[in-house]
Amino acid sequence: MDVRDLVGEAVAGMLARPVRSALTTLGTVLGITTLVVTLGVAATAGNQIVGRFDELVATAITVEVPETEHVPLVEWDAIDRLTRLRGVVSAAALAEGKDGANLPVRSNDLVDPARVTTQSLSVLAASTGLPEALRGRMVRGRFYDAGHVRRGDRVAVIGDQAARLLGVTRLDPAPAIFINGHAYTVIGVLGDLRRERNLGSAVIVPPTAGRRFGLRQVSRVLVNTDLGAAALITRQAPAALSPGNGDMLQVVAPPSPTRARDQAQEDVNALFLILGLVSLLVGAVGIANVTLVTVMERVAEIGLRRSLGAARRHIAAQFLLESTLIGLTGGVIGASVGVVAVVAVSAAKQWTPLLDARLAIAAPVAGALVGLLAGLYPAMRAARMEPADALR
């Protein structure tokens, strides 16, 4: 039998009952649409999550510095060596009290018995690059500079939450705060932290001033790298910070960006994939059902074809091809509707639609496969009919 004849017969069989064929494709259309939409939206949404992951996590490195008896492992000026490395965007060294030890801080020296003005806040010393290292900004005023540090000026920068707690709203009268009873001038308020947000309630002083509170040794270094440079900097940072003793430092590297992406996408995809596959299964059962009904209705036609010389495999091939074409049609329609839906959802969410071209090709193929599988049993039933019985 010529393949063109086979295709012609299958197409004619499908078009003989156009409404039924259209309704039969519906299940597959639904299934494929669900699959394409869910995979497409998952990929698109996954991409959005990754976008944030990349920016926030994938470039943040923290170096933990253990405390030593005499010579500190990391000197304050070692930060300069670190920032000179290619791929380092910003870095800052911090000296923090043990266990986040807090100190009493109040905003003026008048003790009002009516309200508690003394707050217990964490006090830390930091190098001048801290605002950038925390990916924050100066909400008010400015951060101290190398001059303040060199001169040992008694200046402080406070986090925005600390400012609220202490009632520091304006900087023009050069407000003073008292840390453990020592007066400091507040020159800036640091806020909008996108890293180490808890430092919003901290009081930050220059390293030279921090000695008074026992903040001598650098305890942590915060580093931000270019996207993709994290792995390299993770290897290079210890030696840059502490030549000769780099192996004593502990580097907390970000999770690898690819892993972050895979994880995010896998979680979403697995759920949606199951949903789409269930829809496809429903579509397959629909096709199988209708094809079986069609076979039973066309018993006489099967008998006629056998009388005209059709072998069992010709009958099987025709019904298989008919159900495959129905599945394929459903797949093509479903893929089209799905792509439109993904674009629409992305537009509504202001996302960049991310559609794998392979998905647009695989969807119709999947539809055809569903039709093929669904047609197996009905086709077998049709082929097994005895021609004499079919013509009775």
Partner 1 sequence: MPDQVTERPVAGRPIDTRPVIELADVCRDFPSQPPVRALSHVSLRVGRGDYLAIVGPSGSGKSTLLNVLGLLDRPTSGHYRLDGTETTTLREKHRTRLRGQRIGFVFQSFHLLPHRSVVENVMLAEIYTGQPRAGRRGRALAALERVGLTHRVDFRPGRLSGGERQRAAIARALLGNPSLLLCDEPTGNLDSRNTEAVLGLFDELRAQGMTIVVITHEQEVSTRAGRRVRITDGTLLEE
**Which DSSP symbol is given to 13?**
H
Q: With respect to partner 1, which residue has the nearer C-beta, 4 or 115?
A: 4
Shortest approach of partner 1 to residue 17 CB, angstroms?
A: 8
- Quote the least distance from Cβ 286 to partner 1, whole Å: 23
The residue type of 14 is: M
Question: Would you say 218 and 133 are in contact if contact means Cβ atoms under 8 Å apart?
Answer: no
Q: Nearest 5°: phi and psi at 182?
A: -95, 135
- Contact residues toward partner 1 (CB under 8 A) are 1-2, 4-5, 9, 12, 15-16, 300-301, 303-311, 314, 386-388, 391-392
Nearer to partner 1, 12 or 344 (CB): 12
Cα–Cα dist 65/128, whole Å: 18
Instruction: Report the relative pairing of strands 202-205 and 119-126 from DSSP bridges.
Output: parallel
24-35 per-residue burial string, b: 16 or more CB within 10 A, e: under 16: bbebbbbbbbbb
Name the nearest CA neighbour of 74 among 91, 54, 53. 91
Q: Which is nearer to partner 1, 143 or 319 (CB)?
A: 319
User: From the CB of 327, what's the least distance to partner 1, in Å?
Assistant: 21
- What is the H or E stretch that residue 202 is in? strand 202-205
Residue 303 or 367: the one with the smaller Cβ distance to partner 1 is 303
Minimum separation from the CB atom of position 319 to partner 1 (A): 15
Tokens for 323?
């159900």
Q: Which residue has 């994290």 as its token pair?
A: 230
Decide whether 316 or 362 has the Cβ nearer to partner 1.
316
CB of 1 to partner 1, least distance (A): 6
Q: Which is nearer to partner 1, 265 or 294 (CB)?
A: 294
The residue among 9 and 153 lying less far from partner 1, judged by its C-beta, is 9
Minimum CB distance to partner 1, residue 325 (Å): 16
Q: What stretches of the chain show up as alpha helix (H) in DSSP?
A: 3-16, 18-56, 78-83, 130-133, 146-151, 160-166, 207-210, 230-241, 257-297, 299-307, 312-349, 357-384, 387-390
CB of 384 to partner 1, least distance (A): 13
